[in-house]
Each structure stands twice: as structure tokens, then as C-alpha cells.
Amino acid sequence: MNLLAIESSCDETAVAVVRDGRTVLSDVIASQAEMHADYGGVVPEIASRKHVEVIAALCDEALSRAALCRRDMDAVAVTYAPGLIGALLVGVSFAKSAAYALGVPLIPVHHVRGHIAANYITYPDLEPPCVCLCISGGNTLIVDVRGYTDMAVLGGTRDDAAGECFDKVARVLGIGYPGGAPLDRLAQSGDSGRYPLPRAQIHGAPLDMSFSGLKTAALNLIHNARQKGEALDVPDLAASFSAAVSDTLVPRVMAASAQMGYGKVAVAGGVAANSRIRADLQLACARAGAKLYLPALSLCGDNGAMIGCQGYYEWQSGNHADADLNAYATRDLGVG
């Protein structure tokens, strides 16, 4: 089964052709990061306009790289939630038209479910159940993946997403946008014990997290040093910050894993590329005797392949949409 998969939930327009769920025939991405860098964050109106400009050409490119034509597509899968509403609507409207014109099913895909599916592409033998830590620019969730389309949220952030904090701290440090990857690179030569930063606990909700206090503490530290004219060691701060994020995430996903007893821990989303989090998870899983699944770095950020993979399983479970499919800025992962 050949699936044309479309992703436009934020600042990447991505289109892939995926066969039978796990074979990626093509995966093309047009990133808008440079356009938003001047503003220090994604400008929703610019994002929508850029998606409109490139989506048709990107589809042609994905088909051509897969050496297939439109008529070879058996279904069209599209991210319909969660994300920036205007950006999502571009992909959803395009996918609706494509499915209608080709006379094939339209398959709605939840963006976070797509991120989780990136693991199935990286590990062809991985099957649910597993516990998945979903960490991206907009989401931070611990998910019980009971089946390909049967999921429940076990815990999540009460405020900021992990990626959002990386981006904010990096922006104030002046190391670019999006800041997660450059901050990670700096952290690799830093001392993570140099700057004391908080790790929040939420009373009565052991699997939930909070990052806003950590973000504020890091920003205050930077501003105070600047006001006093004190030198700030940027690699040490990057390392201390990364350690605090990892110390917040890793024990919780391990507790969730122990609770569910599957012995399989997966990670998903842009922040899953973080070297400190990957290393800490490797250690924690080895200690707990759990198998760790880390998606290929190329599949951590937003891409079309993950939407094609998850779209296949949604299609198998009978999750088809009609021409009245809408986009949603927020949507429960369990709803699909």
C-alpha cells in the first residue's frame, strides 16, 4: 500500500511516500527555520503562507524521488492536530483535494502519534506495547502505547514543553533559533555541575512535569550575570540546563516503564535528538533491564515519513476521514 503523507503542523512542510507502513520511498522536507530566526520564534502567519507556497511542488518532488506517480497512491495521510491552526489547515486542505482527486481514502494523523511512529521506521522489529517519552517544541508527554492506535497519556508537562525551554534559553544566550541543537552542541564541552538549577516535583502527580521554574531560573541567572557584568560560562550553563531537563524527564519515564512493565522504552520528537537525554536514558534503561528505542536523528524532528508510517496503522484500524475533516490546535492523543 503506497501512502502519500503530508505534514505542515509548524514550520516544516514535509511530504513522504511510504509503502506498507515502514518502507520510506521518499521523504522531503522544506524547513522555514531561517525565515523565523529573525523573530526568535515561529510566526504563525508566515508559516501558513510558506506552506501554501511549497506544498504542491514538494508533493511532486516526493513522488518523483519515489519513482511513482499520483495514480500509484492508495491513500493520503495528513497531520490534522495538534499544531498551529493556519499551518495545519494548509496540509489538511491540500490532502483533502488530493484524496478527492485521486479517489483514495483520506487518513487523519495525530502529530504526536506520528512522532512515536518514527521509532517503527528506525526499528523494523519494534511493536507496541511500549512506553514513549514524547519531547518536542510543543509537547512533553509520557505515553502508554498499548497498540498502534491505542494510546493513553500517563504524564505530561503542566506548563512549558521541553523544546520550548531549550529554545527560550538559547535565544537569551544569543545562540540562534531553533536553539535546542546548538545548545546541545555547546553543552557537550561544559560542566553540568557548575550552575545549580531546579528540578520541579509536582505533589501527588509523580509522572507530571513542570519546566517553567527551570526556564525562569536559567533566564534569571543569565540576566543577573549580565547586570553585574559577571562572565557567564555558556558551555557550563548549557550543560547544567540540559542536565536539569534530563533529570526531570528520565526518572519519570523510567517510573512509567516500571509501572507498565513492558520492558520497552521509546523516545520521540525533536528533543529526542538531545545527546544528554539520550545518554541518560541509555544508562537508566541498562540499569532497569529495559530495551531503549531511540529514533534516527533524521526522524526526530518533524517529517512526512512518520506521518506515512502512522497513517498506515490508522488506515488498518479503519480510521478514515471525510471531506469535512477539520484541523485542531489541540487534540487528545487518545482520540487519534
How far is it, in rounded angstroms, from Cα 105 to Cα 243?
Answer: 45
CA angle 173/177/181 to nearest 5° reads: 85
How far is it, in rounded angstroms, from Cα 16 to Cα 9?
Answer: 15
Scan residues 185-204 and list those touching ligand KG4 (CB under 6 A): none
Cβ proximity to ligand KG4, 10 vs 92, nearer residue: 10
For the bound state, the minimum distance from the C-beta of residue 97 to ligand KG4, rounded and expressed in Å, comes to 24
3-state SS assignment for residue 133: strand
Q: What is the DSSP letter of 333?
A: T
Scan residues 55-114 and list those touching ligand KG4 (CB under 6 A): none
Instruction: Pick the binder of ligand KG4 from 179, 295, 304, 311 (CB under 6 A).
Output: 179
Say whether residue 181 binds ligand KG4 (CB under 6 A).
Answer: yes
Instruction: Pick the binder of ligand KG4 from 86, 105, 155, 180 (CB under 6 A).
Output: 180
Beta-ladder partners of 28: 15
For the bound state, the minimum distance from the C-beta of residue 324 to ligand KG4, rounded and expressed in Å, comes to 26
For the bound state, the minimum distance from the C-beta of residue 181 to ligand KG4, rounded and expressed in Å, comes to 4
Does residue 82 have a cis peptide bond before it, meaning omega lies within 30 degrees of 0? yes
For the bound state, the minimum distance from the C-beta of residue 115 to ligand KG4, rounded and expressed in Å, comes to 6
How far is it, in rounded angstroms, from Cα 114 to Cα 141?
Answer: 14
Cβ proximity to ligand KG4, 167 vs 236, nearer residue: 167
Instruction: Pick the binder of ligand KG4 from 160, 167, 208, 314 (CB under 6 A).
Output: 167
Q: Going residue by residue from 255 to 284, which x/- string records binding to ligand KG4, judged by CB under 6 A? A: --------------xxx-xx----------
Instruction: Pick the binder of ligand KG4 from 86, 156, 163, 190 (CB under 6 A).
Output: 163
For the bound state, the minimum distance from the C-beta of residue 335 to ligand KG4, rounded and expressed in Å, comes to 18
Scan residues 295-314 and list those touching ligand KG4 (CB under 6 A): 301-302
Say whether residue 10 binds ligand KG4 (CB under 6 A).
Answer: yes
Binding footprint of ligand KG4 on the chain (CB under 6 A): 10, 136-138, 163, 166-167, 178-181, 184, 269-271, 273-274, 301-302
